[in-house]
Amino acid sequence: MDSLTQIVLGAACGEAVAGRKLGNRAMMWGAIGGTIPDLDVVAELFTDRMAAMAFHRGFMHSMVFAAVMPWILARLTMWFYSQGVYQLRGYKLAAMLIWLVFFLGAAAGLNFIPIILGEGLIWYVFVPTLLLGAWFTWRLWKDYWRRDLSEVQAPYLTWVALFFWSIFTHPILDCFTNFGTQIWQPFSDLRVQWTTVSVVDPVYTVPFGLCLVVAARFERTTNIRRYLSWAGILWGCGYLGYTCWHKHQAGRLFEQALQSKEIRYQRYMTGPSILNNIVWYGVAEGDTAMYYGMASFSDCRPGFDKISTLPKNRHLLEQVPYDDKAYRFLRWFTNGYYDVVPRGPDTVQVNDLRFGLLGDTLKDENYVFPFLLYKNEQGAWDIYQRNRAPQGPEAFKASISELWQKIQGVPCNGK
């Protein structure tokens, strides 16, 4: 899932393991542990796009990494405290800046949600985040910069457990999304994807995060702190269970729709649309076409009433050698759920349908996750991730508004 969610989950794991021994430091180090697997994105600085995308959610999201890395991080953390590095002014300044950057990123993300939903900047979201930012900055200055930090005494195995749970839960949560997580690396590049929750879902993250923020205000030995942190964890687990139930229901409704329309298919998948778990999409693979539909659980009578036919157009890829690196990557990355659109000489658009569309039609080409497959200057086939297709700002806003209407649902005319 998104980085903020992983920070919240990691902080909760740190608190559950070592909150009584380390106080808010447990949340901080848990948040750091929960962030570490996503540092694999830096691979893009050192290699090509395909290798970087393959590496993301690869080894650093694996069970082997979660089993080995905590022992190393525990040693480094104990050295960090034994040498008094945490009390140096330079370190404290850098740490404050990092936390402020994290907060600004989270605040920007929260305020961006209503913007992409077509509502614009909303004062009752912007003002609280602004006030929270001012409070957060003041607390950093008062309780961190001006205060002499106390010594940290926690056994080695406590640090190991803290980093294990914060790192281990990261790829497990990612498995619930549709991106795919290579948890069995380096032994297999199989990408596990249960596709029950969106990669960004504020209903999961916000209540969970608020429980931890409030818990952090209490002394580490108080019961209320423990109750609040576990309330957040239970909320997260309960919500994931709720998404699994929704997936079961979505699959049943999609199968019924395909049967009622007499559509012959080989396989299908369902997943939630972005930012919510109310509107779901289904993608079925036929011989020559993919079949796509959307359903909202807010509707009076939920169902996939409209099924759009998306021609596979696989013949457009005949010019690309089957064992070509770029073609192999696209087949692996999309798990075969893709269609192809012509884009010019030696250029096609390959749309990863595991991420669905922004609506239930192809109006304005509202693919969420398209790739350009083209010949580069060296004459080799290469890819470029287009990030939500060639929509203009107005078309994109209209698609998001349509999604927002679907989230609100269709009433039963008062009955």
Q: How large a percentage of the chain has pLDDT more than 90?
A: 63
Q: Are 52 and 146 in contact (CB under 8 A)?
A: no
> What pLDDT score was predicted for residue 387?
63
383 bridge partner residues: 373
pLDDT over 70 (residue 388): no
Q: Higher confidence at residue 46 or residue 17? A: 17
* The model scores a pTM over 0.85: yes
Average pLDDT of span 134-163:
87
pLDDT over 80 (residue 394): no
Q: How confident is the model at residue 76 (pLDDT cuts 50, 70, 90)?
A: very high
Report the distance separating Cα 368 and Cα 334, nearest Å.
13
Pull the structure tokens for residue 45: 């600085």
Report the distance separating Cα 295 and Cα 305, nearest Å.
8
Average pLDDT of span 30-37:
95
Domain boundaries, the chain: 3-243, 261-408
Average pLDDT of span 211-230:
94
Q: Which positions ≥6 away from 266 have C-beta within 8 Å?
A: 285, 286, 287
> What pLDDT score was predicted for residue 409?
83
Q: Which positions ≥6 away from 164 have C-beta within 8 Å?
A: 66, 67, 70
Report the distance separating Cα 196 and Cα 244, nearest Å.
6
Find the distance separating the first CA and the last CA of the chain, reported in whole Å: 38
> What pLDDT score was predicted for residue 254?
97
Per-residue pLDDT of 225-268, as tens digits, reads 999 999 999 999 999 999 999 999 999 999 999 999 999 999 99
pLDDT over 80 (residue 304): yes
> What pLDDT score was predicted for residue 67?
97
Q: Using omega within 30 degrees of 0 as the cis cutoff, is the peptide bond preceding 370 cis?
A: no
Per-residue pLDDT of 308-363, as tens digits, reads 999 999 999 999 999 999 999 999 999 999 999 998 888 999 999 999 887 766 66
Residue 246 exposure: Cα atoms within 13 Å on the Cβ side: 28
Pull the structure tokens for residue 284: 């079925």
> What pLDDT score was predicted for residue 392?
60
> What pLDDT score was predicted for residue 118?
61
Pull the structure tokens for residue 226: 């423990």
- Phi/psi for 310 (5° steps) reads -115, 105
> What pLDDT score was predicted for residue 146?
82
> What pLDDT score was predicted for residue 395?
67
Q: What is the DSSP letter of 39?
A: G
Per-residue pLDDT of 149-167, as tens digits, reads 777 888 999 999 999 999 9
381 bridge partner residues: 375
Average pLDDT of span 5-18:
96
CA dihedral 49, 54, 59, 63 (to 10 degrees): 150
